[in-house]
Chain A
Amino acid sequence: MAQLRREYQEFIKRGAEVIAIGPEDRKAFAEWWREHDMPFVGLPDPEHSVSKLYGQQVKIFKLGRMPAQLIIDKKGLIRYKHYGSSMADIAENSELLSKLDELNKE
């Protein structure tokens, strides 16, 4: 998350918004978000409604509740997904940014 924060402007330059969804309750999430001064959109989802929705429809979280990253293009289509097999298995920003570059060339 710290790396995302540092490189947030690179995502903005490529016409993207970053949205992070976490399982904490609203209060704990909001406190964490403010404390770390996160510049992008943060959505607490204590009922796991969105992760369940994506688990069922996009088939992420096959291996349990692991981190996942998706890119949704301007047409609302899923163009990239990465789901981790461990807590540390997270797509590199460079990979996300190069995918956005590809989308912008279309």
Chain B
Amino acid sequence: MSDIETTGSKPAPDFELADSEGRKVTLSSYKGNKHVVLIFNRGFV
């Protein structure tokens, strides 16, 4: 059973991480510009 919820208006916690090429990515930099589909993977390798 999966748990699917549609949440009303909870703000996404902001974060900053370096991407696979070392460039900094900040979630809040997409605000006002793009939706973000955030995928958490358990592991690729």
Task: Give the interface of A toward B (CB within 8 A).
Answer: 1, 4, 11, 14-24, 26, 28-30, 32-34, 41-45, 49-51, 53-54, 57-58, 60-62, 65-85, 87, 89, 91, 96, 99-100, 103
Contact = CB atoms under 8 A, between A and B. Distances in A.
Chain A contact surface mostly: mixed
A39 to B, nearest CB: 12
Contact of B35 (A17, A32, A85, A87): A17
A91 to B, nearest CB: 7
A46 to B, nearest CB: 10
B20 A30 contact: yes
Counting contact residues on chain B (CB < 8 A from A), the size range is 35 or more
A77 B35 CA distance: 9
Given A69-B37, A82-B2, A76 B17 contact: no
B40 A60 contact: yes
A66 B2 CA distance: 11
A31 to B, nearest CB: 8
A25 to B, nearest CB: 9
A23 B1 contact: no
A58 B1 contact: no
A85 B3 contact: yes
